[in-house]
Structure 1
Amino acid sequence: MYVASASTTVKFHDFPSGNVVHNYQPGSKVEGPIRSISWSRDGTWLVLVPHSGVTEIVSTKDQLKLLKTIQDIEEPTCACFQNTTKKNIALGTKSGLVLIYDVKSRSTKKRFPRASSQITHVDFTARDTHCVAGCKNGEVLVYGNITNSPPSILRVPKSGSVNCLKTSLAKRQLVLGGSNEGVVVVWDINVSRSKFFMEAHKAPVNAVAFSPVNTDLIVSTGSDRQFCFFDIVDNKCIASVAVENSMTAVDFSPDGTYFVMASQNGRVFIYDSRNIQEPVHSFQAHKSAVKHLAFQNVQETANSSTCSISTDSNTPATPSETNGNRQSKGGRASDFFGHFVPNVDSVDEDKRSVVSMEGGDSFMAALGLDKSNTTDSMRQEDSAFKVRERLPSIADLPSPSLPKPARRDTGDFKENHFASTPKMLMLNPNSLMSPVVNHGASMLTAVNSLSANEVRGIVKEELKGILNELKADIKYQATHTTYQLRALLLDMHMAQVKEFINLENFYRGAREDLGHEGYDNGSLAEENEQLRRRIQFLEEQLKNATHGGGTSDT
């Protein structure tokens, strides 16, 4: 598994040793730090936006090579792969455009309404239903990737900027951000308001990240030389650690056991999430500040290998000794985080247990119905068959006498609500099989040991859980649609009332203008009466003159 670090170049480090496997320089010359990097969903491609020039897509599958350059988008500033496919990429530009680019057809698939300022960050929610874009003026725009509804606008409380942005892959409605004013905020995009915010740092927030294990746990790093962990449900800071240099980037390993941070002097630090006071390893990555860190998305296959952090001791500690040390030391991070990373329980000497480390259900994998045969929707984080993969703990490292690539260690896992198939299988203690390697033979043995009624019961429970989840999702979507229609009707009614008031004001003004010019009903009647009297007077004079003229002639 690689960790990509970006400064003026992109380096691919082997985790956890930190050895540089590949070093890639975009363009023909170094003009400044790279603006953004993003892994594809299978971890074979990386899209990067250089300081100037076109967006590039590189492949790390067999060897490092440049696959494509996106020539059609002018002045890109950020790019991000979708979470469900590597076919589409979101791109932001200096002119405020946010576009969806189709890698296969080499064309722009969709254009969102233009923002009022430069786009600095783009990211997709868990199921790619929304595209989130951060702007230079501090606005965060949430575009509907499925519907063409107008974007909603979010802002960091008590701030006029947004310095970093991250979406949650566990809860698709949550977006995490940080500002230059030191504020950390979590928005709920379903209601377009903040769920959590705190003035956490006394300097700009440089990077933020969600824990992939505990959806309520977030981490932030700032230029005030400290990083903090927060519980967004209890609305409090649960840990704050001072460091020698300001951290500029942070990312969690896919299983949440480790997290990496990069400093302004180009050094990368690896922390065990169960003891965050001191890093377990560090290495020099770049000569200048590291702007971005990103763990490679691990392909969920039966042959996927894990990594382990080496210790100074030649003999690894036993699980019982590790538990004793944990109980004696009260300052470990597990005491603060609770279920963030569960402690390793003691194991019986006569029996060892194996945990299914795959992304899918052990029973379904044994039948050949693993993730490779399921639809895209079942591959997401809300799948009833998904169990998160984790790295081995330091206490359970393999013995030096055994080949490390073929050995993986027992560790606890965060079990999903609907995962009811057996994850703990008993093995022969004399077997040379590693206790956490998910071999097909052991899986089939476990399935064969179940009766037909037990298998039917397990599948029935799984399907029942999926059905309940679908019902809840449909109910939520119906409620949300009804709320939107009601809000639209209220807006239309308000517009009609405002238009009626404007017409009334216009007619009132017109009547007042007519009254000021003297054209009221009373004045017109009086003028008509005067004219009638004048006509009568003239008729009488004419009549008298006619009679007087006739008498004189006679």
Structure 2
Amino acid sequence: MIWDTKNKTITKTFPTPVQQSCVNYLSYNAKNTSLAATTQNGDTVIYGLVSNIPVLTVKLSCSRSISAMKFHHESRSLLGLTTDEGHVVLRDITTNKDKVFFENVHASPVSDFAFSLINKDVLLSSGYDKVMHVYDIRLQNVVSTIRTPHTLTSLAINNENQVALGTKNGLVLVYDLRDLANPFKVLKGHEEEVRRVAFQPNKHKTVSADVSLREDMETLSPHKINSPVRGRASDMFFTNDTPPKNVELSVQGDAKADSFLVMMGLDKSNVDFDEEGNKSERKSDRTELRYRQLDAEKNISKMSTPLNSRTAETLGFPSPIGITNGVPDDGRGSHFNLSNVKQTNSNVNVANLDTKALEEMKDFVKLTLADVADDNRNYFLHIMMALTKQKLFLEKQLVGMNEQIQHLVQNQNALVEINRKLAMEIDQLKIQRNPF
């Protein structure tokens, strides 16, 4: 059943499967067109949310005990499943065939898994074997592994490459995917098993009360709201058998360059509005929006000023300041006329307009400085990640050379031993030939 929690009513009811069993996991797909329900007997029933009937039953040939299940957050036909035998499976529900199958990747039951919010081809899994794996779905391999001293029970990842791992002894380990050597935070506070972990969603930035016009204009903007998921430009991680390509240190280079920063999802210049926009369009739209807002507010202010000019001149109302207790003024208070009131009101409007324009200019300067700071940060991070990639490649080459040297030394020692044995055999043959 699907419930409306606000009205406390049932909105949809799905038919019961033929083989009745307890439902352990539920998950909606990316477009909210399908609902997956995994039962205790190992079957996963896919319901269509339009027809409200089962359209597919997913059965794994490798296992009948599902330990975790969820849809991919971006690909609506990709369903992730993990088992108690240590398998990780990605099933395409359109063809009902396995897209990726990691067999016995964990030595114990897989406790949880999650898809990266930055790179759609990155998958993470945790298990009771105290291990967390990082996978590349497209390359279908394990690119990184973390071994901890604790039994891992749950996993979560945010859009800043931070990974939280819940443990059986009540700890929460927080890692950064850019440095998996050690957790940068260990949260204590539970005395029992941590069954689920989650990151708090990012709050929207609060804006001043005078931006209602901007919100209306943004609602009419043809651009879509940008998704936190970055588009994948190239391989995410550097593998052992692939040498690095040319390092691009320019921030304004090709968006599809083989950048380690882009792979990790840290390059904000690769964020798409509608999978075709870029950051320059975003800046220009924001600048144009600010100018439109300033022009609109100036027009509103200009429309309000004539009430104090022409109307006051044509209508001959006596000034209330020049009348005291019903007695007409004798001329001494004649300087309190409508012209002074008109001048005062115009000065107030000009002051208000100047204050608003100054505030808007301050906001515009702040936004510009924030963009410049983001560009500088991305530039230095880009350089740092490129140098890190080159360093890793050189280290791997050095390790390979060391292994070759050790192999040569072993071969040399083996040849020396063979020569020694041959010399001994020659001496024995000489002794046998000439016994005296």
TM-score scaled to structure 1, two decimals? 0.47
Q: Distance in 1 between matches of 2:387 and 2:173?
A: 26
1:191 aligns with 2:179: yes
- Name the structure 2 match of 1:435: none
Counterpart code for 2:39: P
1:132 aligns with 2:124: yes
Q: 1:70 aligns with which of 58, 71, 75?
A: 58
* CA positional deviation for 1:492: 1.1
- 8 Å contact kept, 1:54–1:73: no
Q: 1:500 aligns with which of 392, 408, 425?
A: 408
- 8 Å contact kept, 1:56–1:70: yes
Q: 1:121 aligns with which of 89, 97, 112?
A: 112
Cα–Cα, structure 1 residues 384 and 108, in superposed 2: closer, same or farther, change >3 Å?
Answer: same
What secondary structure does 1:166 align onto? strand
Cα–Cα, structure 1 residues 460 and 42, in superposed 2: closer, same or farther, change >3 Å?
Answer: farther
Provide the aligned C-alpha RMSD in A.
Answer: 4.9
Counterpart code for 1:82: H
* CA positional deviation for 1:196: 1.8
1:155 aligns with 2:147: yes
Counting only pairs closer than 5 Å after superposition, residues 141-540 of structure 1 correspond to structure 2 as: 141-156=133-148, 158-159=149-150, 161-168=151-158, 170-171=159-160, 173-193=161-181, 194-213=183-202, 353=210, 365-371=219-225, 377=230, 421=286, 448-449=296-297, 471=379, 474-475=382-383, 477-507=385-415, 509-510=417-418, 519=425
Q: 2:80 aligns with which of 82, 90, 93?
A: 90
* CA positional deviation for 1:124: 0.5
Q: Distance in 2 between matches of 1:38 and 1:105?
A: 19
- Name the structure 1 match of 2:278: none
Q: Which runs of 5+ in 1 are unaligned?
A: 1-10, 214-254, 257-341, 387-417, 426-443, 535-554
- Name the structure 1 match of 2:235: none
Cα–Cα, structure 1 residues 384 and 482, in superposed 2: closer, same or farther, change >3 Å?
Answer: closer
* CA positional deviation for 1:477: 4.8
Q: Distance in 2 between matches of 1:460 and 1:489?
A: 44
Cα–Cα, structure 1 residues 16 and 177, in superposed 2: closer, same or farther, change >3 Å?
Answer: farther
1:53 aligns with 2:42: yes
- 8 Å contact kept, 1:420–1:458: no
- 8 Å contact kept, 1:363–1:447: no
Cα–Cα, structure 1 residues 185 and 26, in superposed 2: closer, same or farther, change >3 Å?
Answer: farther
What secondary structure does 1:154 align onto? strand
Q: Number of residues paired by the alignment?
A: 326
Cα–Cα, structure 1 residues 419 and 48, in superposed 2: closer, same or farther, change >3 Å?
Answer: farther
Counterpart code for 2:179: V
Counterpart code for 2:86: G
Q: Which moved more, 1:177-186 or 1:196-205?
A: 196-205
* CA positional deviation for 1:463: 7.8
Counterpart code for 1:369: H
- Name the structure 1 match of 2:306: none
What secondary structure does 1:137 align onto? coil
* CA positional deviation for 1:205: 1.0
* CA positional deviation for 1:203: 1.2
- 8 Å contact kept, 2:70–2:80: yes
Counterpart code for 2:220: A
Q: Distance in 1 between matches of 2:216 and 2:387?
A: 36
* CA positional deviation for 1:462: 9.1
Q: Distance in 1 between matches of 2:298 and 2:381?
A: 33
Counterpart code for 1:367: S
Which one has a larger percent helix, Structure 1 or Structure 2? 2
TM-score scaled to structure 2, two decimals? 0.57
- Name the structure 2 match of 1:403: none
What secondary structure does 1:369 align onto? coil
- Name the structure 2 match of 1:37: 26
- 8 Å contact kept, 2:122–2:135: yes
What secondary structure does 2:195 align onto? strand
Which one has a larger percent strand, Structure 1 or Structure 2? 1
* CA positional deviation for 1:132: 0.7
Q: Distance in 2 between matches of 1:138 and 1:356?
A: 53
* CA positional deviation for 1:385: 12
- 8 Å contact kept, 1:143–1:150: yes
* CA positional deviation for 1:464: 6.3
Q: Distance in 2 between matches of 1:381 and 1:519?
A: 67
Counterpart code for 1:66: P
What secondary structure does 2:397 align onto? helix
- 8 Å contact kept, 2:155–2:164: yes
* CA positional deviation for 1:468: 5.5
Cα–Cα, structure 1 residues 375 and 133, in superposed 2: closer, same or farther, change >3 Å?
Answer: closer
What secondary structure does 1:150 align onto? strand
- 8 Å contact kept, 2:171–2:186: yes
Cα–Cα, structure 1 residues 464 and 445, in superposed 2: closer, same or farther, change >3 Å?
Answer: closer
Q: Distance in 1 between matches of 2:201 and 2:389?
A: 30
- 8 Å contact kept, 2:106–2:131: no
* CA positional deviation for 1:465: 7.4
Q: Distance in 2 between matches of 1:144 and 1:137?
A: 21
What secondary structure does 1:212 align onto? coil
Query: Could you list the per-position Cα deviations for residues 322-342 of structure 1 after superposition, in whole angstroms to 9, with x for gaps in the alignment?
Result: xxxxxxxxxxxxxxxxxxxx9
Q: Distance in 1 between matches of 2:116 and 2:178?
A: 12
* CA positional deviation for 1:507: 4.1
Q: Distance in 1 between matches of 2:42 and 2:34?
A: 19
Q: Which runs of 5+ in 2 are unaligned?
A: 233-264, 272-282, 300-360
- 8 Å contact kept, 1:364–1:370: no
Cα–Cα, structure 1 residues 463 and 22, in superposed 2: closer, same or farther, change >3 Å?
Answer: same
